Chain A
Amino acid sequence: MTKKDKKSFNQSLAEWKLFIYNPTKGEFLGRTAKSWGLILLFYLVFYGFLATLFTFTMWVMLQTLNDEVPKYRDQISSPGLMVFPKPVSALEYSFSMSDPQSYKGYIEDLKKFLKPYALEAQKNLIDCTGGILFEQKGPVYKACQFPVTLLEECSGVSDPSFGYSSGHPCVLVKMNRIIGLKPQGNPRIDCSVSKVGYLQPLVAVQLGLGASSAPKEATVECKIVDSPNLKNHDDRDKFLGRVAFKITMHA
């Protein structure tokens, strides 16, 4: 039996070899050079044609798009909220007041985030009146200024450590940008557990956790309120018009 098996194994090996290259018929992988050439040429032409067609239809589709406003905005009818420093693996901040290394990352992140808000960077923008919707009708659009100083203690101007060293850590809450979104009513971001310097569209949360040696925890939840068309509750989307995060501080 084993002998027979061995033979059939050798046989199949030989068959494979013959399949890969058959010198008598001049076949490589079961096809002659001419056959390979023809089939490759066929697929080259075929796929070439398909690629052209695909590119063409894509081009046609892109022509129908507006450069400034996306065709449909119904998928983001309501803005989400985002917090800074940027969360990495969970919405939890943990640092030790006495150890600058533990919050160095947070500070850098905040600085990076606030860089475009610096006075220098905003000097070309218009000074708008607060509380009034600023509507424009292109083709040139201007944006309103957002003086970073409005963030007071959390602006990083007066306190480069954003309060982390003193036990008053700052977390910034940002509302997502949506083109053409007109909030109704008088929306504001409302955070429970707060000591809020409220300013739209940016909000800073500074927590007074105090300088005690025991670890302290605080859970903060911010919501957009007072606007009928801005949702702040969705079963699946935990960031639609709201955000919740936790800060743990060690001494």
Chain B
Amino acid sequence: MEGLKKEVVMNDHKLTLEQLSTKYSVDLTKGLSPKEAQEILTREGPNTLTPPPTTPEWVKFCKQLFGGFSILLWIGAILCFMAYGIQMYFSEHATRDNLYLGIVLAVVVVTTGCFSYYQEAKSSRIMESFKSMVPQKALVIRDGEKMQINAQNVVVGDLVEVKGGDRIPADIRLISAEGCKVDNSSLTGESEPQTRSPDFTHENPLETQNICFFSTNCVQGTARGIVIATGDSTMMGRIATLTSGLAAGKTPIAREIEHFIHLITSVAIFLGVVFFGISIILGYGWLEAVIFLIGIIVANVPEGLLATVTVCLTLTAKRMARKNCLVKNLEAVETLGSTSTICSDKTGTLTQNRMTVAHLWFDKTIYKADTSEEQIGKTFAKSSDTWFILAGIAGLCNRAEFKAAQETLPIAKRATAGDASESALLKFIEQYYSSVKEMREKNPKVAEIPFNSTNKYQMSIHLREDSSQDHVLMMKGAPERILEFCSSYMLNGHEYPIDDEMKEAFQNAYLELGGLGERVLGFCFLNLPKTFSKGFKFNTDKINFPMNNLCFVGLISMIDPPRAAVPDAVGKCRNAGIKVIMVTGDHPITAKAIARGVGIISEGAKIEEDITAQLKVPNSQINNREVKAIVVHGSELKDLSSEQLDNILQSHREIVFARTSPQQKLIIVEGCQRLGAIVAVTGDGVNDSPALKKADIGIAMGIAGSDVSKEAADMILLDDNFASIVTGVEEGRLIFDNLKKSIAYTLTSNIPEITPFLLFIILSIPLPLGTITILCIDLGTDMVPAISLAYESAESDIMKRAPRNPKTDNLVNHRLIGMAYGQIGVIQALAGFFTYFVILAENGFKPLDLLGIRLNWENRYLNDLEDSYGQQWTFEQRKVVEFTCQTAFFVSIVVVQWSDLIICKTRRNSVFQQGMKNKILIFGLLEETLLAAFLSYTPGMDVALRMYPLKIFWWLCATPYSLLIFIYDEIRKFTIRRHPGGWLESETYY
């Protein structure tokens, strides 16, 4: 694994053609023979990427069934069956309660497991639809014959030919090329097409011109080369292997649930053991004590919570999907909320991934063009004659054209054929000047020299529109090259000879635009003399026309502009305490310009360029306020130790990594994680996928993203827009807060559910609350209200606070347990017991006479048990009273849960500030009440669930306690608001 993280060593690009021919024993003109190719294919295997080991469906299902929270319920179920077994073995009249409880627990786990499996299967089906299943073809030359074969049959040593529009079938060392450009963005993140030629230009195989990489695209031109690697050994293959070899860590919410399980289990075992001891001391038998122990532990299991949490997460996932964040893994819903660092890719995520004209320079003035996605016309000096000429050159000396049949689309959205910069010019002229098509029809092209990397210019000769006999020569290219051809320049439509002042102005403009990270092109023209009238044969190989003393017109600069919503989104992230780091394969200047444009580097920030100088200064002496932004070059990053990297990450608030390799992205992510950050990584290319996998949450792009990146990611932005991440963060934070509330609500009723059993043991009173009624609360009345808390709106602006600290700010902490169990839960239990004692007393059993009555009460042969008034009760008669009490206890819990639900709506604010706008919550209140009434009053419930109708007055017994809960908590929250950071907050604010 570590080996893969290192940079790839490759030297094929350094070889001469002869060496290459020898190394792969192939004829550079005829290629391999079919027989040789077949042999190699058998030996090396097909040219495909080994698909990442897919988890079998049943394993996924089992993970849902036995992962995380479910394990708690399974243990509960097993304990129940054990208890039932023990009871069965030793007593014939064993109650079936434990058996039922065990079955219900198992059913709950299986149902929720199926539910979340179904949810995830659904989102992975959406994933499947992304995959394109078109088989790739490749043109190979074997024995001198060109043949189309399936790309997977290409072997090492094959001579292949690629042309514009093809996907590169393998890693290729070029031996010849004509105007070849490749789009390496999926591998390196560079947004501009790269020129490819047979020349060895750079030590780094990724940057040298004579290598084309598997699965990148050839944009234009043609090239021939020898395959030097296929399948998994290609650059792309290595990255894919690196990705699938990385183990994705646990999601933060999974860690939180684990922490919660630890807490709950500790409480359960503590209570169980204490009461085991007590029951032994009270003289119960060992067996009974063990049954009690199991009973208490199981009673602590919040049966409904697993379902509640799953439903809450699902609801949020759905809400996020509506806002273009598709969550692959349910648990990842919350992860964005706790994210403290976002490592964002540049191309496509922050930018539009579309070259657009940004600035023009003519008449010695820089004009700004509109780069927004909508491209609604914005005005600049259109009246100048220079502009007409400049527009003419940009439109005519241009090989790009619109693809057919998209006249209805806005110009910016139309697809074009041709180089990215030329397309940008084409769209720009179409938008701001006139129809390029008409222009070209009026000024037909008679000769052309296409752009190449040695000339660095493009020239074309057109018939002039105004005089059909004359020609005009137009040229565009690298500004310094263009200026060399010129002797005059145009100012407001008039020609002037070039002087030093103009040269200086030109230099300044060129530097300024270049400094913005923009690609600058110069434009010039020459009206050819009459001697070159219509019909003259222009020869572009042996130039037979003048190509000097041209007239310089102006500069046009282009950039892949930031998406409109991104600066705002970055600002929101900043407010939310999230550090946004740009990690890109692109050049530092472009990266820096975009970073400034979107606010990753804030305006006026001093950028530290020379990190080596800084590293010599001891850490303590670095003035963080002065050097808060930094641009790190990939080549520098390579030499850094992990301590130095940590240092950079820690001491700079604004960081841009440029020219980074996939391996380095991974190292950066690991560095952030080492510093305790929860890292989100966005990316679309294959090069991003290792980092996506390693990140706490990997975010892939739905439109531009490669399959590999989508596979590795946890979340997919359906609109490729960075701004959608902010929505995700907001939703994630909200669900974390609301889960806390939901859990607090659900846990509270655990106390009135456990205490009856405890007092049954200690005081030997008739059992105040039975297993069935407990289940009715946990899986019945509590469910909808608990879920409704997921719809609760935020108490304050959650996007203005720092991300939670995963170490200290837990989902469930001792304060939550203290509040739920120690305070509200106890009041609830008292409410239940009060109701219980009222009913028994009103039926003849006064509270004091109940103490110690258990053995007689439970004796089914004692049918004349006397109450406080001397009345004699048969076993069944007192059981009916007991079950009536249990029903009333259940109803009391519902009554006190009303106010618990209302107080759980907020953690700090008063309910009067928060309001009762949550309609689902109001529905929840009604639903639990109606359900309780239904369970109590429906005829036949006495047989089915042993629940009995209650007198109306018994519903009211718990209301004073319900009121007390509300008043107590309002006072508590009022004190917390009054004394921020005070004792009450530190002990009870969860």
Give the chain A neighbours of B868 by CB distance below 8 A.
70
Give the chain B neighbours of A202 by CB distance below 8 A.
none
* Max chain A C-beta neighbours (<10 A), residue from B842, B951, B983: B842
Residues of B941-990 at the interface with A, using a CB-CB cut-off of 8 Å, are 951, 960, 964, 983, 987
**A38 to B986 Cα, complex, angstroms:** 12
User: Is B830 positioned at the interface, with any CB of A under 8 Å from its CB?
Assistant: yes
Closest chain-A Cβ to B95's Cβ sits at a distance in Å of 15
Which listed segment binds B: A74-82, A99-107, A145-153?
A74-82
Interface size on B, residues (CB 8 A): 39
Give the chain A neighbours of B843 by CB distance below 8 A.
70-73, 75
The answer to whether B869 and A54 have CB atoms under 8 Å apart is no
A82-B864 CB under 8 A given contacts A47-B826, A50-B827, A75-B880:
yes
A176-B861 CB under 8 A given contacts A79-B872, A240-B876:
no
Give the chain B neighbours of A70 by CB distance below 8 A.
842-844, 867-869, 871
Give the chain B neighbours of A73 by CB distance below 8 A.
843-844, 871
Of A61, A90, A176, A238, the contact of B873 (CB 8 Å cutoff): A176
Query: Looking across the interface, which residue of chain A has its beta carbon closest to that of B872?
Result: A176
Give the chain B neighbours of A47 by CB distance below 8 A.
826
Closest chain-B Cβ to A19's Cβ sits at a distance in Å of 13
Residues of A14-65 at the interface with B, using a CB-CB cut-off of 8 Å, are 38-39, 42-43, 46-47, 50, 53-54, 57-58, 61-62, 65
The answer to whether A237 and B838 have CB atoms under 8 Å apart is no
The answer to whether A54 and B834 have CB atoms under 8 Å apart is yes
User: Is B870 positioned at the interface, with any CB of A under 8 Å from its CB?
Assistant: yes
The answer to whether A88 and B823 have CB atoms under 8 Å apart is no
The answer to whether B863 and A81 have CB atoms under 8 Å apart is yes
A54-B830 CB under 8 A given contacts A61-B841, A70-B867:
yes
Interface bits A80-117 vs B (CB < 8 Å: 1, else 0): 11100011111100000000000000000000000000
**A58 to B983 Cα, complex, angstroms:** 33
User: How many residues of A sit at the interface, in one of the four size bands?
Assistant: 35 or more
The answer to whether A82 and B872 have CB atoms under 8 Å apart is yes
Residues of B850-880 at the interface with A, using a CB-CB cut-off of 8 Å, are 861-864, 866-877, 880
Give the chain A neighbours of B871 by CB distance below 8 A.
70, 73, 76, 176-179
**A99 to B587 Cα, complex, angstroms:** 110
Interface bits A190-205 vs B (CB < 8 Å: 1, else 0): 0000000000000000
* Max chain B C-beta neighbours (<10 A), residue from A42, A75, A234: A75
The answer to whether B861 and A89 have CB atoms under 8 Å apart is yes
**A47 to B829 Cα, complex, angstroms:** 12
The answer to whether A38 and B983 have CB atoms under 8 Å apart is yes
Closest chain-B Cβ to A112's Cβ sits at a distance in Å of 14
Query: Looking across the interface, which residue of chain B has its beta carbon closest to that of A91?
Result: B861
Interface bits A144-184 vs B (CB < 8 Å: 1, else 0): 00000000000000000000000000000010111100000
Closest chain-A Cβ to B919's Cβ sits at a distance in Å of 34
Give the chain B neighbours of A236 by CB distance below 8 A.
876
A65-B834 CB under 8 A given contacts A47-B826, A89-B861, A240-B876:
no
Give the chain A neighbours of B880 by CB distance below 8 A.
75
Residues of A218-238 at the interface with B, using a CB-CB cut-off of 8 Å, are 234, 236-238
User: Is B446 positioned at the interface, with any CB of A under 8 Å from its CB?
Assistant: no
**A82 to B871 Cα, complex, angstroms:** 13
The answer to whether A80 and B877 have CB atoms under 8 Å apart is yes
A176-B864 CB under 8 A given contacts A54-B830, A58-B834:
yes
User: Is A135 positioned at the interface, with any CB of B under 8 Å from its CB?
Assistant: no
Of B822, B877, B987, the contact of A75 (CB 8 Å cutoff): B877
The answer to whether A178 and B861 have CB atoms under 8 Å apart is no
**A217 to B224 Cα, complex, angstroms:** 109
User: Is B837 positioned at the interface, with any CB of A under 8 Å from its CB?
Assistant: yes
Give the chain B neighbours of A90 by CB distance below 8 A.
861
Closest chain-B Cβ to A92's Cβ sits at a distance in Å of 10
A80-B870 CB under 8 A given contacts A70-B842, A89-B861:
no
User: Is B881 positioned at the interface, with any CB of A under 8 Å from its CB?
Assistant: yes
**A176 to B870 Cα, complex, angstroms:** 10
**A65 to B867 Cα, complex, angstroms:** 14
Give the chain A neighbours of B841 by CB distance below 8 A.
61-62, 65, 71
Of B867, B874, B983, the contact of A239 (CB 8 Å cutoff): B874
The answer to whether B874 and A80 have CB atoms under 8 Å apart is yes
**A88 to B861 Cα, complex, angstroms:** 7
Closest chain-A Cβ to B276's Cβ sits at a distance in Å of 22
User: Is B34 positioned at the interface, with any CB of A under 8 Å from its CB?
Assistant: no
**A236 to B833 Cα, complex, angstroms:** 27
**A86 to B822 Cα, complex, angstroms:** 46
User: Is B846 positioned at the interface, with any CB of A under 8 Å from its CB?
Assistant: yes
User: Is B493 positioned at the interface, with any CB of A under 8 Å from its CB?
Assistant: no
User: Is B195 positioned at the interface, with any CB of A under 8 Å from its CB?
Assistant: no
Closest chain-A Cβ to B882's Cβ sits at a distance in Å of 10
The answer to whether A234 and B876 have CB atoms under 8 Å apart is yes
User: Is B165 positioned at the interface, with any CB of A under 8 Å from its CB?
Assistant: no
The answer to whether A62 and B872 have CB atoms under 8 Å apart is no
Closest chain-B Cβ to A35's Cβ sits at a distance in Å of 9
User: Is A121 positioned at the interface, with any CB of B under 8 Å from its CB?
Assistant: no
Interface bits B815-830 vs A (CB < 8 Å: 1, else 0): 0000000110011001
User: Is B884 positioned at the interface, with any CB of A under 8 Å from its CB?
Assistant: yes
User: Is A140 positioned at the interface, with any CB of B under 8 Å from its CB?
Assistant: no
Of B833, B842, B863, B877, the contact of A72 (CB 8 Å cutoff): B842
User: Is A69 positioned at the interface, with any CB of B under 8 Å from its CB?
Assistant: yes
The answer to whether A176 and B863 have CB atoms under 8 Å apart is yes
Closest chain-A Cβ to B990's Cβ sits at a distance in Å of 15
User: Is B847 positioned at the interface, with any CB of A under 8 Å from its CB?
Assistant: yes
A/B interface sample: 16 pairs, CB < 8 A = A39-B987, A42-B987, A43-B822, A70-B871, A71-B841, A71-B843, A73-B871, A75-B880, A80-B874, A82-B863, A82-B874, A174-B864, A179-B869, A179-B871, A238-B876, A243-B863
Instruction: List 3 A-B pairs, minimum CB-CB distance, nearest first.
Output: A80-B874, A237-B876, A176-B872
Known contacts A80-B863, A243-B863, then 13 further A-B pairs from the complex at CB < 8 Å, ordered by chain A residue: A38-B987, A58-B834, A68-B869, A70-B843, A70-B844, A75-B843, A80-B873, A89-B861, A91-B861, A177-B864, A177-B872, A237-B877, A239-B876
